[in-house]
């Protein structure tokens, strides 16, 4: 079963209709590089309406098929989400994005909920730095 078929099956199981336009948007995401913008998707499927692309992206976000990545410049990028709750490491130099899931902020979230009386429903964390490849190119020693 192809990646496209897996995503479509996941959407159908949640009761979503799969139109030709949605199928083309999903395929564009699967063909995209590591991370991409909505504009990248719009360029990849120029014959699909802008509203359809935005609605499809929203649906895929809600179903955790894609996740958002906040780049250091404030722009929002997206990437396929292949696992549950996770965060991102973003290289300031080459803009490479990697997932990481070890993030023990549960005690901070619990304390924040107690102190503010908010019911915390989630959080979003991006960590910015320079990847090992870029540091090697810059002549900076990389510790293993």
Interval 24-45 mean pLDDT: 94
The DSSP symbol for 36 reads B
Q: Which of 122 and 84 is assigned the larger pLDDT?
A: 122
Share of the chain above pLDDT 90, in %: 51
Looking at residue 138, its pLDDT comes to 83
pLDDT value, residue 101: 74
Q: Does residue 73 have a pLDDT over 80?
A: yes
Kindly tell me if the per-residue pLDDT of 50 is higher than 60.
yes
Greater confidence (121 vs 38) lies with: 38
What is the distance between the alpha carbons of residues 25 and 57, in angstroms, rounded to a whole number?
8
Question: What's the CA gap between 90 and 13, in Å, rounded?
Answer: 33
Report how far residue 19's alpha carbon sits from residue 54's, in angstroms, rounded to the nearest whole number: 14
> What pTM value is reported for the model?
0.75
Q: Residue 75 — φ and ψ, nearest 5°?
A: -80, 150
How far is the C-alpha of 82 from the C-alpha of 58, rounded, in Å? 17
The span from the CA of 103 to the CA of 137, in Å, is 29
Residue ranges and CATH numbers for the domains of the chain are 1-82 (1.10.10.10), 83-144 (3.30.1490.190)
How open is the CA angle 81-57-7, to the nearest 5 degrees? 50
pLDDT tens digit sequence for 130-141: 999 998 888 777
Distances (CA, A) of 141 to 76, 79, 96, 132: 31, 30, 19, 9
């Amino acid at each position: 079963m192809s990646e496209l078929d897996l995503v479509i099956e996941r959407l159908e199981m949640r009761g979503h209709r799969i139109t030709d336009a949605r199928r083309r948007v999903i395929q564009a995401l699967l063909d995209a590089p590591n991370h991409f913008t909505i504009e990248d998707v719009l360029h990849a499927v120029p014959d699909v309406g802008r509203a359809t692309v935005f609605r499809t992206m929203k649906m895929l976000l809600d179903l955790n098929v894609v996740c958002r990545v906040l780049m250091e410049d404030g722009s929002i990028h997206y990437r396929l989400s292949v696992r549950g709750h996770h965060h991102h490491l973003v290289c300031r130099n080459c803009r490479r994005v990697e997932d990481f899931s070890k993030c023990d902020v549960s005690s901070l979230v619990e304390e924040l909920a107690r102190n503010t009386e908010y019911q915390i429903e989630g959080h979003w964390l991006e960590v910015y730095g320079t990847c090992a490849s870029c540091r090697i190119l810059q002549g900076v020693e990389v510790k293993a």
